[in-house]
Structure 1
Amino acid sequence: MTQTAIPFLFMRGGTSRGPYLNRADLPEDLDTLAEVLIAMVGSGHPLNIDGIGGGAAVTTKVAMLSASDDDWADVDYFFAQVSVEDRLVDFRPTCGNILSGVGPAAIEMGLVAARTDETPVNIHAVNTGARVAAVVKTPGGTVSYEGDAQIDGVPGTAAPVALTFMDTVGGVTGAFLPTGNLTDTIDGIPVTCMDVAMPMVIARATSFGLTGYESAAELDENADFFARMEAVRIKAGALMGMGDVSQSVTPKFGLLAPARAGGTVAARYFMPWKTHPTMAVTGAQCLASCVLTPGTVADAPVPNENPARITLEHASGRIDVLVDYDQTEAGTAIKAAGLVRTARKLAAGHVFVPASVWAGN
């Protein structure tokens, strides 16, 4: 046998896409696992021509699921971000868009038993320790992918997947504000370094001479901006206690500008070496938390309500984040964040990797 067959589901989760795998069908050793995922996705070529990746960071993501030993959770979700061209795998971050498909995939894999009408799936995000409560539509005890929910960045409509994120503060760095400051100045750029669902470095678009309303394509063509942003990001990563982040996709980077289409704030999100075509679910929570925290670079109107609905205007539309929080003398305390996403099963079967990479269990 020259290839190893690995069972998989191929799913769209939110505005991302990739294989959903059973962790038991993969090597335990992370170095070998990384090589398997590189071969599976086809990392090392801009089109991922020798794998099932789609030539973009939002289509080279992998979800690995297993039954959870956690008393609260039903399923463990282990995420990997595979690079498009550099043959790198980052196991440090999580992905909220791919997480949108974890509930449906867990039911499809038999890890969670479907109920009639709706099935709750409690998810432990292994990479960051976050807890996420998902509700999946299961009429007649079968996952439904058709419905009326629409999310910007995905054509058409689908069944809604309701997500409530908990325990998201300090998942990577251990702190809401990893540098201990509401703002830091790096290379002359005021930034807020924050760790909610995803560690991020956040700045005002005007600090880089941008409007904040540029398209993803326009930003990707701006090499000077990316060079300046990356220099700030690397220095911020060190200040956040994350060490050398030059080869890591975290911390991510975000730009904010005043809203111009009825939202709370305009935002652009970076992955970090390309502009996200829409908005990351985890990044949206961090950006919303930044908006809700006085003294940060956000400088945006805060809704006088709790939970607060923060609407981020992104490169392809809008995303709403419902944040349950407390404002205390010690600062902002994020309790939970709710979002509605959609997911769809695209294919199922086996994906193959060379036996020379891994001969199987």
Structure 2
Amino acid sequence: MEIEIPCVLMRGGTSRGPFFLADDLPEDIALRDELLLDVMGSPHELQINGIGGGSTLTSKVAIISRSALPDCDVDYLFAQVSVMKRTVDTRPNCGNMLAAVGPYAIEQGLVPVQGKETIVRIRNINTGTRVEAIIQTPNGAVSYEGDTRIDGVPGTGAPIVLCFEQAEGSLTGKLFPTGQRTDWIDGVAVSCVDVAMPVMVVHAEDLGKTGRESAAELDQDKAFLARLESLRLQAGRLMGMGDVSQSVVPKPVVVSAAEGGTIRSRYFTPHSCHKAHAVTGAIAVASSAMLPGTVSHSLMQTNVESENAVINVAHPSGQIAVSLEVRDAINNPKVVRAGVVRTARRIMKGSVCVPAPASIVA
């Protein structure tokens, strides 16, 4: 017996996945996760029996509901569905999928159109972060067409502005979860930073890399990946997250120097290199670049110690610009606000068919 679940397949930023209304999924978490694994076709390298794309970037799920909070319109729960394991991780946020939450919420009737632009106030359930998304809504409906181009996605689209507030300490509750701006693990300097996404930042040269390698080149170096994972596991414990071997956070990031107000980043998800860059990860990397004493800051070739700056995070497909407001970066740092521009697209809507769990059949 199969069941049909209404969903909309959407691209958000450089990620893609199905969007569901929370009411259309089981309340029981274990049962919900089993359904999501069947929806995506995991575990299988091609996810051939589901709608996943065989990549961490296309094996993501967004679950949306009305928010009970007076200052938020919708709640957004992100789920990272493993491609090769039968696991679902709801600890991290995904800023790329977040770009499609506003359009989805408007088109589902959860948020009314406000004019030529509509502000959707989003609470990310995973981290407690609140985000304002500015959606283009001319003629009373969401518009996906525009001239905005983001690296890693072909063509152009309507701009979606994401303004992150209270992103500091998204999962650990601390900007520097270890209490240090730089730690040493196995003789390697790392910076553990939590802004929108917990990350472990390491200088490429300390791992025998230039930082200019392609994602494919890095993924082929199994010894490098093993060493990076060893550092990540130890960093997870230092950050108070315990055993992170079955979690996708913290995310490891390999950085190197670039020109001007730019830092070069290779972002891992966490066991393969992102072909572009996660939005939340870019915010974390850019924030660390503005904070003296971190691995990232030491590589910046321009002064970024003002309270407001735009940091360009270069990645394998181009770059992403992050607008930041940081106060008292030297003594008592506070990341007040972060903003990025993304695009999104509705790809398909309808229902996804999955085998009915035994409990539902009974």
> What is the TM-score normalised by the length of structure 1?
0.97
The question of 1:330 aligning with 2:328 is answered: no
> Which sections of structure 1, spanning at least 5 residues, go unmatched?
none
> Does the CA-based 8 Å contact 2:291-2:330 persist in structure 1?
no
Q: Residue 41 of structure 1 aligns with which residue?
A: 40
- Counterpart of 2:315 in structure 1: which amino acid? H
> Does the CA-based 8 Å contact 1:144-1:159 persist in structure 2?
yes
Q: Residue 26 of structure 2 aligns with which residue?
A: 27
The question of 1:227 aligning with 2:231 is answered: no
- Counterpart CA distance in 1 for 2:204 and 2:359 is 45
Q: Point out the more displaced range, 170-179 or 94-103.
A: 170-179
- 1:263, CA displacement in angstroms? 4.9
Q: Residue 346 of structure 2 aligns with which residue?
A: 345
- 1:29, CA displacement in angstroms? 1.2
- 1:187, CA displacement in angstroms? 1.2
- Counterpart of 1:169 in structure 2: which amino acid? E
> Does the CA-based 8 Å contact 2:326-2:335 persist in structure 1?
yes
- Counterpart CA distance in 2 for 1:232 and 1:170 is 21
Q: Kindly report which structure 2 residues correspond to 1:76-225, keeping only aligned pairs within 5 A, or say none.
A: 76-225=75-224
> Does the CA-based 8 Å contact 1:255-1:268 persist in structure 2?
yes
* Cα-to-partner distance string for 1:135-190 (whole Å, 9 max, x where unaligned): 10011111100000000000000000011001111121111100001111111110
- Counterpart CA distance in 1 for 2:25 and 2:332 is 43
- 1:114, CA displacement in angstroms? 1.5
Aligned CA distance change for structure 1 residues 263 and 294 (closer, same or farther; 3 Å): closer
> Does the CA-based 8 Å contact 1:4-1:358 persist in structure 2?
no
Q: Point out the more displaced range, 156-165 or 330-339.
A: 330-339
Q: Residue 254 of structure 2 aligns with which residue?
A: 255
- Counterpart of 1:283 in structure 2: which amino acid? G
> Does the CA-based 8 Å contact 1:268-1:275 persist in structure 2?
yes
Q: Residue 355 of structure 2 aligns with which residue?
A: 354
- Counterpart CA distance in 1 for 2:129 and 2:307 is 21
* Cα-to-partner distance string for 1:38-72 (whole Å, 9 max, x where unaligned): 00001111110000000000000000000001121
The question of 1:274 aligning with 2:275 is answered: no
- 1:333, CA displacement in angstroms? 1.0
- Counterpart CA distance in 2 for 1:328 and 1:279 is 25
> Does the CA-based 8 Å contact 2:292-2:330 persist in structure 1?
no
Q: Point out the more displaced range, 105-114 or 53-62.
A: 105-114
> Does the CA-based 8 Å contact 1:35-1:357 persist in structure 2?
no
- Counterpart of 2:178 in structure 1: which amino acid? T
- Counterpart of 1:352 in structure 2: which amino acid? C
- Counterpart of 1:206 in structure 2: which amino acid? E
- Counterpart CA distance in 2 for 1:64 and 1:147 is 26
> Does the CA-based 8 Å contact 2:290-2:305 persist in structure 1?
no
- Counterpart CA distance in 2 for 1:264 and 1:328 is 18
**Secondary structure at the counterpart of residue 97 of structure 2:** helix
| Number of positions where the alignment pairs a residue of Structure 1 with one of Structure 2 | 359
**Secondary structure at the counterpart of residue 321 of structure 1:** strand
Aligned CA distance change for structure 1 residues 304 and 172 (closer, same or farther; 3 Å): closer
- 1:88, CA displacement in angstroms? 1.0
> What is the TM-score normalised by the length of structure 2?
0.97
- Counterpart of 1:33 in structure 2: which amino acid? R
RMSD: 1.4
- Residue identity over aligned pairs, in percent, reads 50
**Secondary structure at the counterpart of residue 240 of structure 2:** coil
- Counterpart CA distance in 2 for 1:8 and 1:329 is 47
- 1:302, CA displacement in angstroms? 3.4
The question of 1:316 aligning with 2:317 is answered: yes
The question of 1:307 aligning with 2:308 is answered: yes
**Secondary structure at the counterpart of residue 331 of structure 1:** coil
- Counterpart CA distance in 2 for 1:57 and 1:360 is 31
- Counterpart CA distance in 2 for 1:219 and 1:239 is 25
- Counterpart CA distance in 2 for 1:234 and 1:360 is 40
- Counterpart CA distance in 2 for 1:358 and 1:282 is 37
- Counterpart CA distance in 2 for 1:303 and 1:155 is 31
**Secondary structure at the counterpart of residue 359 of structure 1:** helix
**Secondary structure at the counterpart of residue 275 of structure 1:** coil
> Which sections of structure 2, spanning at least 5 residues, go unmatched?
none
- Counterpart of 1:287 in structure 2: which amino acid? V
Aligned CA distance change for structure 1 residues 340 and 231 (closer, same or farther; 3 Å): same
The question of 1:285 aligning with 2:286 is answered: no
Q: Point out the more displaced range, 275-284 or 319-328.
A: 319-328
Aligned CA distance change for structure 1 residues 109 and 74 (closer, same or farther; 3 Å): same
**Secondary structure at the counterpart of residue 180 of structure 1:** coil
Aligned CA distance change for structure 1 residues 59 and 252 (closer, same or farther; 3 Å): same
- Counterpart CA distance in 2 for 1:196 and 1:233 is 17
> Does the CA-based 8 Å contact 1:293-1:331 persist in structure 2?
no
- Counterpart CA distance in 2 for 1:162 and 1:305 is 23
- 1:307, CA displacement in angstroms? 2.1
